[in-house]
Amino acid sequence: MIRINDILEKASQYLSESHLALIQKAYVYSASVHSGQVRLSGEPYLSHPLEVCNTLVDMRLDADTIAAGLLHDAVEDSGVSVRELSQQFNNDVAAIVDGVTKIGKVTFNSKEEAQAENIRKMILAMAKDIRVILVKLADRLHNMSTLEHKSPIKQRLIAQETMDIYSPLAQRLGLYRLKVDLDDLSLKYLKPDVYNQIVHGIKEHRTLGKDYIDQVINIIQNIMDSNGIQGRVSGRQKHIFSIYDKMLKQNLDLEQVYDLIAFRVIVQSVKECYAMLGLIHSTWTPIPGRFKDYISMPKGNMYQSLHTTVVGPDGEHIEIQIRTEEMHKVAEYGVAAHWKYKDGATFKPKDEERFVWLRHILDWEQELKDPREFMASLKVDLFDDEVYVFTPKGEVLDLPSGATPVDFAYMIHTEVGSHCSGAKVNGKLVPLDTPLKNGDSVEIITNPHRNPSRDWLKFVKTAKARTRIKHWIRTQERERSISLAKEMLEKEGRRMGLNFQKALKQGKLEPVASEFSLKSVDDLLSTVGYAKITPKQVLHRLVPKEPAEPEQ
């Protein structure tokens, strides 16, 4: 079990004495409330919050987040109140623990509903304070690393949820280290045969690879030294899941995956990144189609690097990433590297331009009540691969893979999407269902007389486009049903000797709507138009009741 003193020593590299004292206090409190509790592994329960705390310190997070990591199970497992945590520590620590606790406390009719509601809660919590999600991800990482103590059924369920939700969320936040560990651990339980095959293959390759890695590092270091470029080089075997992902996407056997080794070159400036790229390409032959410039066009999660694959010594394919020190921090720790807490200020990602994807989700999450639809939309908007396209003004928009000009139009503005009549991609007219590619320049042609088409639902990818199109269709159908209801009520009214239009103008339908527990006359009329209430049922309530005859 990791020791609190080791964690505090690591944290002392960037936190003050008062902050370290808060973490120490949280540790003592956690040890007290979890005293006597044991995990399935047989270890003291305290081992879990300590591991979560250690991950948060590795990410160089603030003291409140680290303290919350130590206390994150105190409310759920030990009967401690949020108010008590607020009194013992501070409001921020208590709020983070409360947020983490609430994410898991859901009871629903189905696993799908429960999962959808859990994710909904995570998104809303993340919008308020991203530290809640960072603690939850660290919590999930340690739970995945001790998953062997669960039953096989639970192992698969937890691993699948991790692969579906937590790993992509870590990727969106730029938390590369967390993501690769979550991916590898998930694969271990979801596809154990494939996992073991890759592990065995890597071990065989590693016996040959150590000398090779050292050879390539020395060559790159000599290139840097002879050109006056300061920096460092490292090499490693690729992660298990990334190898599996390549095998899957390219339909390859393990023996056909050549670039099992990746190298990282870290230099001082952007200029030196491009200089090193040129020097590496003049040393080894680059493989066509394998160069990616994420410096000039960063990923949506803030990631920046140059990627290239070359034919290295002995004909081996090697992948090389080139970046600056600052880019490296962001590549490893994503959002955690981009902000620090000062004077109690709260980081709200929904206010940040680089978290525009979170604002999009918040825009539509309330409109999607069906759990299946919510999860399907979330997986597209949050977790799919992205394409980066340009507006006519040169601004970059990121969209999910497979997105079309209609998705692009709705991303610009709802009105642009609703009146989209055509599109130009790279100056040429294209059909509206054309999938956009990286680097495309997109121009939308609008027509005030054009409206959304139900056919668009067959090809749009983003939840924003889908919800706006459906909203327009529902509005149109409602208006048609109201118009139809008025015709039906007028016709039936004439037959009964009633003037429906007069009754409508005199406000006599409001009480009738209330009788049917409807909020407005329009609700009443649309219900008639949808044939849920008959015209006679409405009109009979407008007929004056005859006074009862006096008894003789």
- The secondary structure of 204-264 as a DSSP string is HHHHHHHHHHHHHHHHHHHHHHHTT--EEEEEEEPPHHHHHHHHHHHT--GGG----EEEE
* C-alpha–C-alpha distance, residues 169 and 171, integer Å: 5
In the predicted structure, residue 339 carries a pLDDT above the cut 70:
no
pLDDT at 345: 46
Torsion on CA atoms 330, 333, 339, 345, rounded to nearest 10: 170
Greater confidence (453 vs 542) lies with 453
Q: Compute φ and ψ for 352, nearest 5 degrees.
A: -100, 140
500-506 mean pLDDT: 87
* C-alpha–C-alpha distance, residues 214 and 114, integer Å: 50
Banded model confidence at residue 207, pLDDT cuts 50, 70, 90? low
Do 231 and 252 form a contact (C-beta atoms < 8 A)?
Answer: no
pLDDT at 343: 39
DSSP at 134: H
pLDDT at 22: 94
Task: Quote the mean pLDDT of the chain.
Answer: 83
Banded model confidence at residue 409, pLDDT cuts 50, 70, 90? very high
* All residues at 6 or more sequence positions from 238 whose CB lies less than 8 Å from its CB, including other chains: 259, 260, 261, 262, 319
In the predicted structure, residue 351 carries a pLDDT above the cut 50:
no
Do 352 and 362 form a contact (C-beta atoms < 8 A)?
Answer: no
Q: Which residue is catalytic, options 43, 58, 76, 490?
A: 76
What tens digit of pLDDT does each residue of 250-304 get? 787 776 676 677 899 999 999 999 999 999 999 999 998 889 898 988 877 778 9
* C-alpha–C-alpha distance, residues 458 and 470, integer Å: 12
Rounded to two decimals, the pTM is 0.68
DSSP-based three-state secondary structure for 175: coil
Do 322 and 273 form a contact (C-beta atoms < 8 A)?
Answer: yes
pLDDT above 90 covers a percentage of the chain that reads: 35
What tens digit of pLDDT does each residue of 4-20 get? 999 999 999 989 999 99
What tens digit of pLDDT does each residue of 19-49 get? 999 999 999 999 998 888 888 888 888 999 9
pLDDT at 335: 72
pLDDT at 404: 94
Q: For residue 153, count CB atoms less than 10 angstroms from its CB and return exposed for 0-12, middle for 13-18, buried for 19 or more.
A: exposed
pLDDT at 205: 65
Which of 42-51, 349-358, 379-388 is the most confident on average? 42-51
Q: DSSP secondary structure string, 261-323?
A: EEEEEEESSHHHHHHHHHHHHHHSEEPTT--EETTTS--TT----EEEEEE-GGG-EEEEEEE
pLDDT at 286: 92
Q: Which residue is catalytic, options 58, 77, 386, 522?
A: 77
For residue 76, indicate whether it is catalytic. yes
In the predicted structure, residue 528 carries a pLDDT above the cut 50:
yes
Do 301 and 334 form a contact (C-beta atoms < 8 A)?
Answer: yes
What tens digit of pLDDT does each residue of 412-432 get? 888 999 999 999 998 899 999
Greater confidence (238 vs 485) lies with 485
pLDDT at 283: 94
- 73-77, 232-236, 476-480, 517-521: the lowest-pLDDT one: 73-77
pLDDT at 153: 92
DSSP at 549: P
Q: CA angle at residue 225 from 221 to 226, to 5 degrees?
A: 120
pLDDT above 70 covers a percentage of the chain that reads: 83
In the predicted structure, residue 383 carries a pLDDT above the cut 70:
no
For residue 351, indicate whether it is catalytic. no
Q: For residue 221, count CB atoms less than 10 angstroms from its CB and return exposed for 0-12, middle for 13-18, buried for 19 or more.
A: middle
What tens digit of pLDDT does each residue of 165-183 get? 888 888 878 888 899 999 9
Task: Please give the C-alpha separations between residue 429 and each of 406, 425, 432, 442, in angstroms, as whole numbers.
Answer: 13, 6, 9, 10
217-234 mean pLDDT: 94
437-463 mean pLDDT: 89
pLDDT at 350: 44
Task: Please give the C-alpha separations between residue 490 and each of 437, 494, 497, 523, in angstroms, as whole numbers.
Answer: 54, 6, 10, 17
Q: Compute φ and ψ for 117, nearest 5 degrees.
A: -70, -35
Residue corresponding to tokens 């006074």: 547
Greater confidence (469 vs 382) lies with 469
Greater confidence (113 vs 7) lies with 7
Beta bridge partners of 264: 234, 321
Greater confidence (498 vs 104) lies with 498
pLDDT at 530: 84
What tens digit of pLDDT does each residue of 352-369 get? 555 666 666 666 555 666
